[in-house]
Structure 1
Amino acid sequence: MLADQFAHISAIHIRRRQEAGIDPRLVMVIRLNAPVDPEDFRRAGIRVLDDTNGRTVIAFADDPQLLEFHARLTAYKAGPAEGNKHPSYQGFLDAIDTGAEYVGDDKISRRLRDHQATVLPEVALVLDVECWHPGDPAAAEEWRNEVRLKVTQLGGEVLDSYLSNSSLLSLLRVRLQSRHVSTIAEMSAVARVDLRPEPLLTMHDVFNATADDLPAVGAPARDAPIVGVIDSGVRDAHPLLAPAMRDTVVLARSIADARDRDGHGTAVTSLVLHGQLEPLLNERQTPDPVCWILSVRVLDDEHQFPDDELWERLLAEAVEYCADHGARIVNLSVGSALTPYSGAKATPVAALLDEVARRRNLVLVISTGNVAAAAYLAEVDADTPHTYVERLGVSDETRMIDPAPAALALTVGAVCHDPQVGALAREAVEQRPLGNADWPSPFTRRGPGMKDSVKPELVAPGGTLAYDDAAHALTQVPALKLVVASARPDRLLGMDLGTSYAAPLVTHVVAGVAGRHPEASANLLRALTLQSAVETRFWQDLTGGSENERRERARALQGYGRARFEEARSSTNHRVVMYGTAGIRADDVQMWEFPVPRSFTQSSGDRELVVALAFDPPTRGRRLDYLASTMQFEVLRGIKPEVVDAIYRAATEDELEATPEGEDSDPPTDEPKSVAEIGRRRIELEPSANARRGGANQLARWRFKHRLRAEEETYLLMVRNVSSWAGEADLQDYAIAIAWVEDSERDPIYVELEARLRVPIEIEIRA
């Protein structure tokens, strides 16, 4: 099989080398099942260009016929030589699964491909082109010059270049029409082609902005929700903030006033009010802030809690103060790096905040905290921009810090934002950002939370670092930061990065939901915010392990995904959100019946079901069973609610614990008689019930393309409350949110679902 694959590679290449404009090198991708020493490849006539993936090697050969490699295959097939147990080259060849030509489509980034779909072929794009460095400086220069020449022949322009023989890095920045991207990608000297982000704002725009350059900000609606921002204070006269300021206070005895001298609180507040500032500033919109701000200062001028006061007391008093003065949502972009979560019992401050949040019906939004890259990376090199995530996801140094593990809070991690949407074009071609869009920021911290619950639940842009190939070090680059309001007296705007700025972007979403649903409980605000989350594709970029294992690793860093403002607030014709609240007793089961769009039973297509659950159980900080009860949900089809209810009420504890995961095949038509048989009516949600059951904030999705069964007009959402130490008579409040999602090119589903809704679930469409 290997012989055929590599012979096919040679045949294709020999044919292509005869075509005009195609250079004669053979570059291939070799997939491995075990590590192989690059020297073994070299002896077989193949030189490794890139083996950072571990199981995928990009290599090239000067000999297009691969004679030396085929000689080894022949010797291997001949069997063991006399006196040997194993065939020649067995370890080397057995480690190779497949070989294929490395084609142009593999080299074009997803971001560039998506952007090309939105522009005409003749539109000029600014591209970052990485060329292969074969290890020989003269050859590297030759390969790069070939790409330069081809760009010029295609009518393009080379804007900048960088070659580092020590880092084996060769980069070009070019301007080229979109129609020619594939031609450049097909060159064997090219390793990768990516879109250089076009800046929404320039450095001059940010650092020299005056009040006249900023959009005119109106006051929030009189009944807009109040959000508490517990931080370093605020520059309350800032033109982006002043109309929305309800009050500013200081609670720490040793801090003189509520003025922000550090700048952190002002930056956080600007993101709570407006979301990401770059589009707002670029388009000169006239924003109406989504909330009023109550600023409570607890941090000193150095962005630290005062040494002479207990930070636990300060934080608890600040949250209580916010609730006393009408706040329904509190942003906490603060924490103690001295108390990383060990993964066992609740941390003291997290337990304290959970108790306050439940008692005062508050939504707390907390950042995971930041970690220095040096804490988990022993060294950095040219591969760090795409290898840092492996250590970030497993190091003990990257666990969340107090109070991020709070079970009832929405905990938020940071992701690298797409600079096209984010801010400024990076200026030096040798400064390469760590990660791709929606990868975990290199400073974000990870979960899981208590009882392996999903923590953080959500992520938002927080910026990233860059690797400087010239300095061989990580550095901060303005292009890779977020634009924020500045507290400096000589400047209105600034730039910064960190999980501190991811949290307020989620707080902005929660405030938007609270403004649309003024009577909503904290549980409902959390459920509606959760259901808006879009899953990132980061797990697909991880290597090693099964799909479930890669998804689990990604969830520890990114939770359920990125919360979205409009999707959290309301429905559209093609994304219909239904929601409801109820109370459930310990060890009880409740059913919610909801309609299936008829069009889903008439044709196939890309569709999705999203379910979110949020509840607020009592907590006990000194117990391993921290939550008084846990809740879980399943979606069932082809079964009546009274049948499910009867089976669960009659089931033994062993039967309930042995509940299997669902199946995606069509359910049987006969009526189930046991919990196990109900399992065949379950829809296989992702993540599974076991993966999410430990948390107070849960989300699951079902993506499907097949046509649904016509006789199944409704599905059931089954919610179960399992007591740990809650009393039998205790009623646990909870909220659910369900969304049907379809392609916007299809017929609307909103009107139909609104008319058919028979259960006590509300439905609302965006104005």
Structure 2
Amino acid sequence: MTQERPHFVIAKDNIHVRDTDFDGGGSTYRRNDYYSHGQTLIQGIKSVQQRMRTSSDYFKDRSFLEIRLASEEKLKERYKNLLLNSRITILDLVNESVGYAAIKAEDIALLESRLKEYSETENHVGKSYFSFIEEIRPVPVQNRISANLRKVIEERPTDYVKVSIESFSSLPSEAREYGILNQIDSFMKQNQGELTGSYIHSTGNVVIEGKVMASIAQTMVEDFDSIRNIELTSKLFLPRVESLSDNFPEVKIKPLEGNAAVCIFDSGTTSNNDLLNEYIIDRIQAINSHGANKYHGTFVASRIIFRDKLLDQLARGELTPFAKVLDVRVFGTDQNGDDIGLDESDLVKLVRKTVHNFHRNIRVYNLSLGFVNPITDETALDDSQVSRLAAELDNLSKTYDVIFVVSSGNINSLYNKLGNVPYPQHFSEDSTRILPPGESFLNITVGSIATNFQIGALAELNHPSPFSRRGPGFAGTRKPDIVCDGGNVTTSGHRDVRIAASALGENTGDIAYDVGTSFAAPIISSYAAELFDRIPDASSNLVKAQLIHFSTIPTEMSTFNRPNKFEHLGFGEPNLSLCLESLKSKASYIFEGSIAQQKYVKIPFWVPSILASDASRNNRKKLKVRATIVWNPPTDRRKFTEYSLVHLWPNLFKVGANGNEEMLQLTGLEECSYREKFCPVIRIEKQFERSFSGGLWSFQLRMSTRWDVPEDYEQDFAIIVSVEDPDDTLDVYGEIINEVGIRYQTLSRVSR
């Protein structure tokens, strides 16, 4: 009988917390001519006030403005000063020194009087309040119209276009709930336009969707000061797949063990396959459509229920179900048979409602879909700001402690690209980057690798699937997070079922074959659902940490002919069994906790003495320490590239050769290590061959924040630390039990 080795759990009683020793500071910006500077600011605030008076907005209780700071000054360091002394509230960050802000009408006179005092008094009273401000002015109209819409306005002003309108977030509640919506609706109708949907984003911005003549879109921005941005509506994209199918004889199905469940937002599932029906919790029709092509949704559901080894299971004559599926249909077909999907506003409201209603029983939500640019049909990813849907998913994940699993997206017109540039050089184009909402920070984005190879296949074994979109994600983050089998394609373009992904088809007894990241994501969704089901009280931080920590880059990637393999594979392909159990030579520790501001949290783990004392391996690697830290920070898309508001800083303490504790510099790390400031995943891998002893090592964490994170905010996190024998020969797990077994409990798991 195989020996069980559940991971060790670090008890909260063993965690050491102490105060940090950081002090704050500030500086004053000096000018040669304070009088002229003050007069310039006064004229700026007067022009903002005049703009408010002429705006068509029915509420006149506040003005929106652009504020620019002096060279090398940063808004994140001055925003509290601006709020307290200028009564200016920063809303959106354009770059480090430029932002959009709001000031209430009742505060403008006070600001003017203070600026007058600053400008005209002998000592220029208030220098520390105002000298660092370079300019105040109304937000320019052109800055509030997206580049792709501006192009349409210039080239085809009479075209009717679908637009998304986003208000500033600082609107009074009455204006947010009714005022701006009614005004925009009225404006559109007066100009032969149409309002099609709306919702209030988690950041407080009102989002309105509609159809209007391009030139009228510009007039709308000129008339309404409360409009923060107007852009062409991104298209919700679902890969159009063609069915290749086969048949199989009757099979047995094992009983489903446990209560793992996944919700899918997709094209719907067929009711014609009796092998799937038993595992469909419910079918929710969320879109009104003439018809529905349910092939894609059925394929996704099958991959969640029976996973990716379907053909092996069929060869044995027995299927093993792993999870149930809640089917929410968000795509359909029109009278011409063309695909239609929900608008962004309807999709966001639906996802919110679904998660609110089901989060207690369903912790994983699969989105094998994405948004493309309506002009180019390529990725709608924006390097300056995360998409509204990605931000909404992050907010829901944190609020309800759930995980969204999102496909990275497929490359459109793959063979057209390959006609100009061969695989894998075609990935050099920026247009091959991931689709939104795959840039989500708190959730899991999944790419595809080719786990099958035959002569004529385009990708080699365990190389990135040629169609799988790559990273980086927003602000240079590592995306996709992980990868899984999504199929391979041929050099000729002809389909080969031997290298494709497989699933149950639309009718009982059918096997379907296809390729796509859409079919890699549901495997990870199924894994995540099982981890939630098998580990009582697991948080989304822990489940995400497990899937990342126990992922590896395939060895075959050493022959992949592109420099940055992490753009394609993220942290690698996860091993579900390792998520649940340590190995003889590789023991893992798990801790979930929280950290307050101005505190150090020290998390201890034991390194057995056998790893330091093995004399047979002198001058060779004796120890590998691997750690993964995941947290769910508050986020704010209005802060653009400073979207994530909390970072955790790690330090590693070892026991030195003399037996004393030493803090290590985290240098000389393994290639797969990852530490990007304010990205909520840290991966550390380091090997040791000398100058260390067994004993109590530790990771120490410190939190830093930016913008308006409350002082009493505590950040939840999960950390997994693995202590490993690089030669894979020593009984590391057994030695930990022998030396300090009483110190650690083992991870509670529901057996299968």
So what's the TM-score if we normalise by structure 2?
0.60
C-alpha distance after superposition, 1:351-390 (max 9, x if no partner): 1111111111111110001003548836258xx3xxx123
2:548 corresponds to 1:563: no
CA distance in 1, matches of 2:661, 2:536: 43
Corresponding residue pairs, total: 491
Two-structure CA RMSD over aligned residues (Å): 3.2
Query: What residue identity is the alignment partner of 1:248?
Result: R
- How far 1:596 moved relative to its partner? 1.0
Q: Equivalences for 1:531-610 in 2 at 5 Å?
A: 531-537=549-555, 540-542=558-560, 550=563, 553-586=564-597, 588-603=599-614, 604=617, 608-610=624-626
CA distance in 2, matches of 1:276, 1:693: 35
- Which residue of structure 2 aligns with residue 416 of structure 1? 450
CA distance in 1, matches of 2:701, 2:474: 21
CA distance in 2, matches of 1:233, 1:511: 20
Q: 2:267 aligns with which of 218, 229, 232?
A: 232
2:643 corresponds to 1:626: yes
- How far 1:562 moved relative to its partner? 0.3
Q: 2:409 aligns with which of 369, 375, 390?
A: 369
2:508 corresponds to 1:493: no
CA distance in 2, matches of 1:573, 1:518: 24
- Which residue of structure 2 aligns with residue 452 of structure 1? 476
Structure 2 CA distance for partners of 1:209 and 1:538, relative to 1, 3 Å: same
C-alpha contact (below 8 Å) 1:369/1:400 kept by paired residues: yes
Structure 2 CA distance for partners of 1:681 and 1:248, relative to 1, 3 Å: closer
Secondary structure (helix, strand or coil) at the match of 1:528 reads helix
C-alpha contact (below 8 Å) 1:578/1:761 kept by paired residues: no
- How far 1:587 moved relative to its partner? 5.2
- How far 1:557 moved relative to its partner? 1.3
Q: 1:684 aligns with which of 669, 673, 680?
A: 669
C-alpha distance after superposition, 1:267-314 (max 9, x if no partner): 11111122213454255264553322111111114898736x423432
- Which residue of structure 2 aligns with residue 359 of structure 1? 399
Q: 1:616 aligns with which of 629, 632, 640?
A: 632
Q: Equivalences for 1:5-154 in 2 at 5 Å?
A: none
Secondary structure (helix, strand or coil) at the match of 1:609 reads strand
CA distance in 2, matches of 1:749, 1:279: 37
Query: What residue identity is the alignment partner of 1:721?
Result: M
Structure 2 CA distance for partners of 1:316 and 1:289, relative to 1, 3 Å: farther
Query: What residue identity is the alignment partner of 1:216?
Result: I
C-alpha contact (below 8 Å) 1:220/1:244 kept by paired residues: no
CA distance in 2, matches of 1:412, 1:566: 19
Secondary structure (helix, strand or coil) at the match of 1:728 reads coil
Higher mean C-alpha displacement, 630-639 vs 296-305: 296-305
CA distance in 2, matches of 1:287, 1:721: 47
- Which residue of structure 2 aligns with residue 746 of structure 1? 729
- Which residue of structure 2 aligns with residue 502 of structure 1? 520
**Aligned-pair identity (%):** 20
Secondary structure (helix, strand or coil) at the match of 1:300 reads strand
Q: 2:426 aligns with which of 373, 391, 394?
A: 391
2:748 corresponds to 1:731: no
- Which residue of structure 2 aligns with residue 291 of structure 1? 323
CA distance in 2, matches of 1:304, 1:607: 58
- How far 1:536 moved relative to its partner? 2.5
Q: 2:502 aligns with which of 483, 486, 490?
A: 483
CA distance in 1, matches of 2:311, 2:597: 47
Q: 1:635 aligns with which of 646, 652, 660?
A: 652
Higher mean C-alpha displacement, 534-543 vs 581-590: 534-543
C-alpha distance after superposition, 1:472-502 (max 9, x if no partner): xx33322221111111x37521100000011
- How far 1:586 moved relative to its partner? 3.2
Structure with more contact order per residue of length (Cα contacts < 8 Å, sep ≥ 6): 2
C-alpha contact (below 8 Å) 1:413/1:456 kept by paired residues: yes
Higher mean C-alpha displacement, 745-754 vs 261-270: 745-754
CA distance in 2, matches of 1:319, 1:305: 23
Query: What residue identity is the alignment partner of 1:484?
Result: A
CA distance in 1, matches of 2:389, 2:610: 49
- Which residue of structure 1 aligns with residue 308 of structure 2? 276
Secondary structure (helix, strand or coil) at the match of 2:459 reads coil
Q: 2:286 aligns with which of 243, 251, 254?
A: 251
- Which residue of structure 1 aligns with residue 171 of structure 2? none
C-alpha contact (below 8 Å) 1:637/1:682 kept by paired residues: no
CA distance in 1, matches of 2:561, 2:365: 38
- How far 1:695 moved relative to its partner? 2.2
C-alpha contact (below 8 Å) 1:594/1:757 kept by paired residues: no
- How far 1:505 moved relative to its partner? 1.4
Structure 2 CA distance for partners of 1:586 and 1:313, relative to 1, 3 Å: farther
Q: Equivalences for 1:333-344 in 2 at 5 Å?
A: 333-338=368-373, 339-344=379-384
CA distance in 1, matches of 2:513, 2:652: 44
- How far 1:761 moved relative to its partner? 7.5
C-alpha contact (below 8 Å) 2:304/2:526 kept by paired residues: yes
2:248 corresponds to 1:209: yes
C-alpha distance after superposition, 1:529-559 (max 9, x if no partner): 1111012236532558xxxxx3xx1111110
C-alpha contact (below 8 Å) 2:536/2:748 kept by paired residues: no
- Which residue of structure 1 aligns with residue 346 of structure 2? 313
CA distance in 2, matches of 1:459, 1:316: 29
C-alpha contact (below 8 Å) 2:645/2:678 kept by paired residues: no
- Which residue of structure 2 aligns with residue 717 of structure 1? 699
CA distance in 2, matches of 1:621, 1:316: 18
Structure 2 CA distance for partners of 1:378 and 1:499, relative to 1, 3 Å: closer
Structure 2 CA distance for partners of 1:395 and 1:589, relative to 1, 3 Å: farther
CA distance in 2, matches of 1:357, 1:305: 29
Structure 2 CA distance for partners of 1:738 and 1:671, relative to 1, 3 Å: closer
- Which residue of structure 1 aligns with residue 686 of structure 2? 702
Structure 2 CA distance for partners of 1:702 and 1:275, relative to 1, 3 Å: farther
So what's the TM-score if we normalise by structure 1?
0.59
CA distance in 2, matches of 1:753, 1:272: 37
- How far 1:399 moved relative to its partner? 1.3
Query: What residue identity is the alignment partner of 1:377?
Result: K
Query: What residue identity is the alignment partner of 1:391?
Result: H
Structure 2 CA distance for partners of 1:562 and 1:500, relative to 1, 3 Å: same
C-alpha contact (below 8 Å) 1:345/1:621 kept by paired residues: yes
C-alpha contact (below 8 Å) 2:270/2:294 kept by paired residues: no
Query: What residue identity is the alignment partner of 1:485?
Result: L
Q: Equivalences for 1:652-671 in 2 at 5 Å?
A: none
Unaligned runs of 5+ in 1: 1-204, 420-425, 469-473, 545-549, 640-665, 673-677
CA distance in 2, matches of 1:703, 1:241: 47
Query: What residue identity is the alignment partner of 1:700?
Result: I
Query: What residue identity is the alignment partner of 1:698?
Result: I
- How far 1:753 moved relative to its partner? 2.5
Query: What residue identity is the alignment partner of 1:456?
Result: P
- How far 1:207 moved relative to its partner? 0.7
C-alpha distance after superposition, 1:144-180 (max 9, x if no partner): xxxxxxxxxxxxxxxxxxxxxxxxxxxxxxxxxxxxx
Secondary structure (helix, strand or coil) at the match of 1:500 reads helix
C-alpha contact (below 8 Å) 1:232/1:262 kept by paired residues: yes
- How far 1:405 moved relative to its partner? 0.6
CA distance in 2, matches of 1:434, 1:315: 37
CA distance in 1, matches of 2:666, 2:677: 20
Query: What residue identity is the alignment partner of 1:344?
Result: S
- Which residue of structure 1 aligns with residue 435 of structure 2? 401
Structure 2 CA distance for partners of 1:293 and 1:529, relative to 1, 3 Å: same
Structure 2 CA distance for partners of 1:278 and 1:598, relative to 1, 3 Å: farther
2:390 corresponds to 1:379: no
Secondary structure (helix, strand or coil) at the match of 1:719 reads strand
Structure 2 CA distance for partners of 1:670 and 1:636, relative to 1, 3 Å: closer
